[in-house]
Structure 1
Amino acid sequence: MTVRLSYEDGTIRVDADADSAESLPPLPGVEADPRSETSRAPAYRYAAIRRALAVAGVRVDDRVLDASDRAAEAVGLADGLSTDYDLREYQREALDAWRDAGDRGVLELPTGAGKTVIAIRAIVDLGVPTMVVVPTVDLLDQWQRELEAEFDVPIGRFGGGEQRREAVTVSTYDSAYLKADDVGDAFEFVVFDEVHHLGGEGYRDVARLLAAPARLGLTATFERPDDAHEAVAELIGDRVYGLDADDLAGEHLAPYDIRRIEVDLTPEERERYDEKQGTFVEYVRDAGITFTSGSDYQELVKRSGNDPAAREALLAKQDAREIMMNATRKVERLAAILDRHRNDRVIVFTAHTDLVYRLSERFLLPAITAETSAAERRETLERFRDGTYGRVVAANVLDEGVDVPAANVAVVLSGSGSEREFTQRLGRVLRPKDDGGRAILYEVVSAETAEERVASRRR
């Protein structure tokens, strides 16, 4: 008995004659397709199907990864893949754990721990057509530069105005989403950088439509509060190795301190905050909303559509949040921090674009927000790297996907309760320093407000 496997529009087509089909073992994800009188499974099931057929002793005519154009691209690939990187002990342990898991799974390591280095070593070890998927154009550029510096092969690119496929290709998640069913049989290995993005329902299709049996996820924070990391594990594999910043600080990452600074609201801010927060608290108490889960907040949002009191409470909560996040004395404390670290490389993080522009104007800080053009962002970061700028202020956009090796001080003026956001902001300053100095992260928190709970939750 022979079963033929082929790739077709994001699926694995399973062909067997009628007699053979009845005696096939159960195959993961495979269902009958009456239209083609065959069976099919989502492409990501390819490796599991091959394993099931091998265990059952079924002969396979495998045409999934044997397209002629892909084979032509792969000619001489292994000869052009090499790296001078010497893996640290924990990096080797991480790579070995991934190999032992069947070349599938997620590595959870802090920013600056060398996840890219591990992935490059994996690409060399496998020596097969590979796609690296990243969330931002900044990361797209960084990966392309890194791969071009290491490998003696052309590097393809999907994203940032280019659509060029090579045996080793870098893509944004958005471009991969658009092209996955067209190139799903072109790569045997796929690396998902910042793999937690795959938890988004749309991006999951990127992994579903690719047949690549070898899959590596990289992240500093795997688990998501919405539990979508469980879907990521199904598509990529479980977390097979993990370390946090404390495990590596002092030897492989910069030693660091986290300093929490509390500031009081001004009398005017206190009066407005208490009024707005009181309106919110009174409504949710009377409505029996406890906020023990994310669905409780969604319930308030849903009610606000037809309940004026709910809408008033929701707007009051937003107003109270803006007051505590953008408190006047936070700005005054930032002035003292910037003066104390006038010779250091400082990144200031905020949650609101308006505050970024206020700080930029007051302290003459280069600003980066979602409104900043890609060209201006790249120029600003390059000047930060080369020392032209000694400090920069940003609203969320530098939380991930940006290589800022020179920074050694971070100031969080405002943010969410997300552990991921906090870990990524800390990671901006953890890369080892030439002088062996310590990194510092300041949290500036409005005292006697809900921000105290937010700050505790993210840690």
Structure 2
Amino acid sequence: MPPFVAYDERIQGYRCPAYEYFKLKELYPESEDHVFENESKLNFTHSEKLRSYQQKAIDLWSSNNKKGVVVLPTAAGKTHIGIDAIAKLSVSTIIIAPTIELIQQWKNKLESTLGIEVGQIGGGEKILKPVTVSTYDSAYLMAEELGNRFEFLLVDEVHHLASERYLEIAKMYASPYRLGLTATFERVDMLHEKLETVMGGKIFELGYEELSEFLSGYEIIRIPVDLEQEEEEEYERNRDIFTSYLRKHRITMKGPWDFEKFILSSWNPEGREALTAWRKAREIAFSARIKTDAVRYVL
């Protein structure tokens, strides 16, 4: 029996994680298969022409058993790659994105490009169609119900999927075909490495420099802002907790593997407190109220 299959006394039978379905099917091709028994072949077409690098991404994904993560900068056309993959497979598809705004963008683009009616889960909607968009939260909460409804799992901003909670989405959906899209694959906490097993790992990546002929030029202008007193005090308090823990345990942050060492050492109450403090300080630094005001001023 394969190592990912285990005997379950409760059902007097064998079980395996849903994401291992395709591997199990390959090992036992003659066995009865009732996972996607109600699915029928669809026929999606579109007339959009892919750029050379987009086509290369699709080709690499196809040669990787139609699994993997594509990493491209903002405005490089990741959505076009996703839609082409949907059309090529022409099977039931769920597209997962972190926000209502993003799933609405996907819905509008899919309907206009493929000429189909797209379902939606999230934002007060629960309409299932052969192609359906969903928020991460809704896909997670409904995983037991939807796990065998969609043969293709397409995840936008896939770096979010690596979190402990959302990783269950990838594990509980039986979808044999998987594609992740993101502009920022690597995470500081190294959790992106977990995507190798459930999504197929990174198969294609290009940066702004390599796509300069396709993307508009840009200029980075740094606008320094000061934290409000309350936020600054909270930031310093949490930063002190974190740095004190590092000094005590002689952990020096020189690269991502050092952060991984910190994560591994944070199993005890003191370590968990330090990890929580790091997250709070990071949240303050990234989401300070004054930054919102600065963006409003720029716009």
Report the equivalent of 1:123: 86
Report the equivalent of 2:116: 153
1:337-361 CA-to-partner distances (Å, cap 9, x unmatched) read xxxxxxxxxxxxx63014534x47x
Alignment RMSD (CA, Å): 3.5
CA contact under 8 A between 1:190 and 1:212: conserved in structure 2? yes
Shift of 1:190: 0.9
Report the equivalent of 2:216: 254
Q: Gapped runs of 5+ residues in structure 2? A: none
Q: How does 1:329-408 map to 2 (within 5 A)?
A: 351-357=287-293, 359=294, 365=296, 391-392=298-299
Report the equivalent of 1:40: 15
SS of 2:178's partner is strand
Which residue identity lines up with residue 31 of structure 1 in the other structure? A
Report the equivalent of 2:106: 143
Report the equivalent of 1:329: none
SS of 2:166's partner is helix
CA contact under 8 A between 1:43 and 1:209: conserved in structure 2? yes
Structure 2 vs 1, CA of residues 183 and 257 (structure 1 numbering), >3 Å: closer, same or farther? Answer: same
Report the equivalent of 1:238: 201
Which residue identity lines up with residue 253 of structure 1 in the other structure? L
Shift of 1:102: 0.5
Residue 25 (structure 2) pairs with residue 62 (structure 1): no
Report the equivalent of 1:167: 130
CA contact under 8 A between 1:28 and 1:45: conserved in structure 2? no
Partners of 1:50 and 1:211 in 2: how far apart? 11
Q: How does 1:3-402 map to 2 (within 5 A)?
A: 26-27=1-2, 29-54=4-29, 59-67=30-38, 71=39, 74=40, 77-78=42-43, 81-249=44-212, 251-258=213-220, 287=248, 289-292=250-253, 293-294=258-259, 295=262, 302=270, 351-357=287-293, 359=294, 365=296, 391-392=298-299
Structure 2 vs 1, CA of residues 167 and 243 (structure 1 numbering), >3 Å: closer, same or farther? Answer: same
CA contact under 8 A between 1:159 and 1:171: conserved in structure 2? yes
SS of 1:146's partner is helix
CA contact under 8 A between 1:28 and 1:48: conserved in structure 2? no
Partners of 2:271 and 2:155 in 1: how far apart? 38
Structure 2 vs 1, CA of residues 299 and 239 (structure 1 numbering), >3 Å: closer, same or farther? Answer: closer
Shift of 1:262: 7.9
Structure 2 vs 1, CA of residues 290 and 207 (structure 1 numbering), >3 Å: closer, same or farther? Answer: closer
CA contact under 8 A between 2:58 and 2:81: conserved in structure 1? yes
Shift of 1:197: 1.0
Considering fraction of residues, name the structure with more strand.
Answer: 1
Which residue identity lines up with residue 121 of structure 1 in the other structure? D
Shift of 1:135: 0.6
TM-score by structure 1 length?
0.54
Which residue identity lines up with residue 65 of structure 1 in the other structure? F
Identity, % of aligned pairs?
Answer: 35
Structure 2 vs 1, CA of residues 301 and 30 (structure 1 numbering), >3 Å: closer, same or farther? Answer: closer
Shift of 1:255: 2.5
Partners of 1:210 and 1:112 in 2: how far apart? 29
SS of 1:252's partner is coil
CA contact under 8 A between 2:246 and 2:252: conserved in structure 1? no
Partners of 1:303 and 1:170 in 2: how far apart? 38
Q: Gapped runs of 5+ residues in structure 1? A: 1-25, 326-349, 367-390, 393-459
SS of 1:190's partner is strand
Which residue identity lines up with residue 195 of structure 1 in the other structure? V
Structure 2 vs 1, CA of residues 280 and 182 (structure 1 numbering), >3 Å: closer, same or farther? Answer: closer
Partners of 2:245 and 2:36 in 1: how far apart? 56
User: With CA pairs under 8 Å and 6+ residues apart, which has the higher RCO, 1 or 2?
Assistant: 2
Partners of 1:304 and 1:132 in 2: how far apart? 34
1:133-187 CA-to-partner distances (Å, cap 9, x unmatched) read 1111110110011011112322110001101100000000100001111111111
Which residue identity lines up with residue 36 of structure 2 in the other structure? L
SS of 1:140's partner is helix
1:389-421 CA-to-partner distances (Å, cap 9, x unmatched) read xx43xxxxxxxxxxxxxxxxxxxxxxxxxxxxx
Partners of 1:286 and 1:133 in 2: how far apart? 41
Structure 2 vs 1, CA of residues 223 and 280 (structure 1 numbering), >3 Å: closer, same or farther? Answer: closer
Partners of 1:215 and 1:189 in 2: how far apart? 6
Shift of 1:111: 1.1
Partners of 2:6 and 2:32 in 1: how far apart? 19
Partners of 1:285 and 1:43 in 2: how far apart? 39
Partners of 2:53 and 2:215 in 1: how far apart? 12
Partners of 2:55 and 2:246 in 1: how far apart? 53
Structure 2 vs 1, CA of residues 60 and 302 (structure 1 numbering), >3 Å: closer, same or farther? Answer: same
Structure 2 vs 1, CA of residues 150 and 298 (structure 1 numbering), >3 Å: closer, same or farther? Answer: same
CA contact under 8 A between 1:223 and 1:229: conserved in structure 2? yes
CA contact under 8 A between 2:68 and 2:201: conserved in structure 1? yes
Structure 2 vs 1, CA of residues 52 and 253 (structure 1 numbering), >3 Å: closer, same or farther? Answer: same
Shift of 1:260: 5.6
